[in-house]
Structure 1
Amino acid sequence: MVISTRTSAPAPPGRIKSSSLVDLAAEAIRQQILSGAMGPGDRLIEERLTEELGISRPPLREALRILSQEGLIETRPRQGSVVATLTDQDVFEILTLRSAFEKLAVELGVPVSDPRRLERCRTALERMEDCAQREDRAMLVESGYAFHASIVALAGHRRLEASYASVQQQLLLCMARNLYVREHYHENLVDHVGRHRHLLELIEAGDPQAVLAELAVHGERSFLELPPAGSPQKR
C-alpha cells in the first residue's frame, strides 16, 4: 500500500491515497499487527515499509513513534522497532484490569436503566459479526474492543469509561493475541462472535449475576486456560 498526497492518479489496489501520511501510515501498520500479519517480535524494517507504503522515512518514523507510544511496538537498541511481545504476566495484568472495569460497570449498569445504551452494544456486535463473515481479523479486534467498551458505558460513569479507554491499545494487542491463539486451537471467528452475542443476551435479560458469571469465563480465565504455545492443536 502507498500513501500519497497527490490525487491526480489513483493508487494501486490496497495502497493508501489519503493526505494524512503519518496517521495513515500508523493505521496501516497497526492493522497488520492486529490482524496477525505481523507477529510478536517481528522487525519493522524501514526500507521495506517505505517501499510498501510509498512514503519517505520521516513520516514513517513519526508513525512508528506513535505506535511505540501506544505500546504496539518496541524500539530496541541496535535492533530498531519490533512488534511488542506480551508476556503471560502482561496478559494477566491487562485482562484482570479489564475484568475489574467491566465488573464495576455491570454492577452499576445492569439492569440497564436507559435502553438507548444497549444500542451501542448491538451496533458493536453487528460490526463484529460483519468482520467475522469477511474474515477481517484486524477490524474484528477493534470491533471487539468497541463491544467491551460499550459494556463499560452501560454504567453511565464517565471516569470509568475514561480509565478503560486509557488502556485501549494494550487491550487491542491482548485481544489480537487472544483471537490468534484461539483460532489455532478450538474457536473460529464465528464462534468467537457467538460468545459475545451470548454475553449481550444476558445483559439484555437484566440479570447482573448471570452477566458477571459469564464475564468470569469470558475474560482472563478463558485466555489463560488455552494450551501453551507449541501444544498439539485440538481437533
Structure 2
Amino acid sequence: MKKPEPGSAPAGGSVREAAPARRATRPPLERPTPLRERVYEAIAEMIVTRELEPGEHLVESELASDLGVSRQPVREALQRLQTEGWVDLRPGHGAFVHVPTDEEADQLLAVRAILESESARLAAKHATPEHLEKLRALQRVGEKAVAADDQAAMVAANAALHAHVVSMSGNLVLADLIASVARRVRWYYLPIARSRGKDAWDEHAGIIDAIEEKNSRRAANQMRQHAERTREIYQEWRTEGAEERA
C-alpha cells in the first residue's frame, strides 16, 4: 500500500493546516512624551506652585528661554492652558495667569468636600493593614513638614495623603472626578498651607483613626469637616488680601 505523501490528505480525510507559531510577547513600545506636553506640564506646575503668580504677564519668549525650547510649543501650551482655565489670553495684550474669582474657588472647594467625604467613607470599608501603614507614613511626612515649616512639602504631603485615601475607596469614577480637580486644589491650598499647619494634620489623624476603625460614617463626616475648614480658611485668606489691597 502506497504511503501518503507528506502534507497530503489521509484517506477519507482532509489535511489540517499547522497552527501558526505564537509570537513572543513584546513590551509596549515606549513613546517619548511630545515636547508640547512637557512644556504644558512645566508651565502648569509653575502656576500651581505660584512660581508664576495669578495675574502675571506670560511672555512667550521668556518662557521659551527659561524652558530651553522654541516659542511654538510654549504658544501651544498657553492655548491649552487657556482652555483649561489656567491662563487668560487677552487680544492685543498677551497671556496672563488666571486670577481665580471667589465664586469659582468656593464652588470647586465645595465640590471637593463632597467627593472626598465619599472617598473617606469607602476607604473605611475597604481599608487593609497595608493601606493604613501607608496612611500613617504619609501622616508622619506631613507632620515633619509642618515642624520644618516647609510649605512646599506640606502641600505635597497633603496631596499625597488625600490621593491615597481616594485610591483606597476602590471607586475609579470617583477617583477620576477627584483627580480632575486635584491640581487646582493644590493651587488654592498653597497660600494657606502654613495657616492650616498643625490643625490640618491633627484632622488627618482623626480621619485615619476613623478609617482604621472601619467607621464609615465618622470617616466621611470628619473628611467633610476637614475639607470645609480648608474652604473657610481659603475664604478668610482671600478676604484679608482684598482688604489689604483696598
Q: Same fold by TM (over 0.5)? A: yes
Structure 2: give runs of 5+ residues left out of the alignment: 1-31
Q: What is the number of equivalent residue pairs in this alignment?
A: 209
What is the identity percentage for the equivalent residue pairs of Structure 1 and Structure 2? 26
Secondary structure in 1 aligned to 2:57?
A: coil
Question: Could you tell me which residue of structure 2 aligns to residue 175 of structure 1?
Answer: 186
CA contact under 8 A between 2:138 and 2:160: conserved in structure 1? yes
Establish whether residue 212 from structure 1 lines up as the match of residue 220 from structure 2: yes
1:195 positional shift: 4.3
Q: What is the CA–CA distance in structure 2 between the aligned matches of 1:177 and 1:66, rounded to whole Å? A: 20
Amino acid at match of 1:180: P
Question: Could you tell me which residue of structure 2 aligns to residue 73 of structure 1?
Answer: 87
CA contact under 8 A between 1:74 and 1:82: conserved in structure 2? yes
CA contact under 8 A between 1:34 and 1:176: conserved in structure 2? yes
CA contact under 8 A between 2:117 and 2:224: conserved in structure 1? no
Q: Which of 144, 151, 156 matches 2:165?
A: 151
Normalized against structure 1, the TM-score is what? 0.70
Q: What is the CA–CA distance in structure 2 between the aligned matches of 1:156 and 1:128, rounded to whole Å? A: 24
Question: Could you tell me which residue of structure 1 aligns to residue 117 of structure 2?
Answer: 103
Amino acid at match of 2:241: G
CA contact under 8 A between 2:55 and 2:96: conserved in structure 1? yes
Question: Could you tell me which residue of structure 1 aligns to residue 49 of structure 2?
Answer: 35
1:216 positional shift: 3.0
Amino acid at match of 1:94: L
Q: What is the CA–CA distance in structure 2 between the aligned matches of 1:65 and 1:127, rounded to whole Å? A: 37
Amino acid at match of 1:172: R
Structure 1: give runs of 5+ residues left out of the alignment: 1-17
1:114-145, Cα deviation, whole Å (9 max, x unpaired): 344445645655665676659362x6545533
Q: Residues 39-54 of structure 1: matches in 2 within 5 Å?
A: 39-54=53-68
1:44 positional shift: 1.1
Q: Residues 192-231 of structure 1: matches in 2 within 5 Å?
A: 192-193=200-201, 195-225=203-233, 226-227=236-237, 228-230=239-241
Normalized against structure 2, the TM-score is what? 0.67
Q: Residues 134-145 of structure 1: matches in 2 within 5 Å?
A: 135=150, 137=152, 140-145=154-159
Q: Which of 158, 165, 176 matches 1:162?
A: 176
Q: Over aligned residues, Cα RMSD in angstroms?
A: 3.4
1:51 positional shift: 1.9
Amino acid at match of 2:192: V
Q: What is the CA–CA distance in structure 2 between the aligned matches of 1:27 and 1:212, rounded to whole Å? A: 33
